[in-house]
Amino acid sequence: MDCYFDNAATTRVCPEAVAIMERVMREDYGNPSSKHIKGFEAEKYIRDASATVAQTLHAAPKEIIFTSGGTESNNMALIGSALANKRSGNHVIASAFEHPAVYNPMLSLEDFGFEVEFVPVDNMGHVDPRRLAEMVREETVLVSIMYVNNETGAVQDIAALSEAVKKKNPKVVFHSDAIQAYGKYRINPKKEGIDLLSVSGHKLHGPKGSGFLYAAEGTKLRPLIFGGGQQKDRRSGTENVPAIAGLGVAAEKIYSDLDQRTAKMYGLKQRMIEALSELDWAHVNAVPADIKDSAPHILSVSFDGIRAEVLLHALEERGIMVSSGSACSSNHPGISGTLKAIGVPQKLLDSTLRFSFCGDNTIEQVDYCIECLKETVPVYSRFSRK
């Protein structure tokens, strides 16, 4: 049985997105900046996608900037915002367990004279609004807090965090990496106090190389890419129309049956948690008493006596695809900062896998995975002790 449980790394592109992308590439292939009919046809795909994703966020189409994915969206938000507001201050804050696409751009701001601080999280991966507010100063210009953690599925109370920050300093720009949240939650940036929000298309059954940044009207951003002035001078370069069209269709589809999809994923996650809780050598990380206080699709599990990479490949031989952490960190392997931040014991840091679901997964696949774990872990851990 084939079981793809690595949906937090990437998802299969939905058929509707594939179809519209093929049509754009084969038929409506004009440059959206061209003034003839082919250009107008291409531009309409961008307008339609803008309207679609804006509607999912209760936003305006003009607040959507299309990018090449989550990493660019985060870089644009963090570096672009910090540089645009440097005259107001040089202090920025992020949480202690951000994705590298936030953590590294934040560190890069030190080269521009910014002071970078990281607010700690508790053992469930949550940021305390009071602790965050204590760190905000008059010279703070930017705060970035991940909506859903990509390794553990911990969900932040973004509205409470933003409120605490802006109560201390109303001028602070609040950014959230929502790459693992968009398509799983109904997000309303204006109600939640989010000025900048990053999204990646390939996490929600859209194509790789697609994404967008929501930038609330009036939020100052310095462009990172200069050229022909596309997208209102905020991100130059000929737009990737096929990817943008595919992202728009994927977003429309995933929000059309969001409640049904998330309920199914919570069911899969609950089934795996219940089965693993009966095994002495399996330890579920950072799942609250009410499973719905965590993300529906991500589950982090540590296993006694076996390295994550060994178990990953043992499961792969049985048709089960999982991850040993963030796929985006695979080029720089090491111990997860997220697991350290939530207090996972040292002996388990290199023995942790991430299982991540989508609406296409089944209970039968989960049960098969559990049986494979029962067969595999005791054997490999016994071997490792010899």
List active site positions.
328
Q: Do the Cβ atoms of 216 and 225 come closer than 8 Å?
A: no
Q: Is the dihedral of CA 20, 246, 68, 37 positive or negative?
A: positive
* Sheet containing 352-356, strands listed edge to edge, beginning at the edge strand earlier in sequence: 282-285, 298-303, 352-356
Could you count the other beta carbons within 10 Å of the beta carbon of residue 152? 28
- In this structure, the chain runs to a length of 386
Angle between helices 308-316 and 363-385 (to 10 degrees): 130
Give 94-130 as a DSSP string. Answer: EETT--HHHHHHHHHGGGGT-EEEEE---TTS---HH
Q: What ranges make up the beta strands (E) of 178-314? A: 196-200, 211-215, 282-285, 298-303
Separation between Cα atoms, residue 56 and residue 51, nearest integer Å: 9
Helix locations, 128-183, DSSP H: 129-135, 158-168
Q: Do the Cβ atoms of 357 and 263 come closer than 8 Å?
A: no
First to last CA, the chain: 32
Separation between Cα atoms, residue 293 and residue 298, nearest integer Å: 12
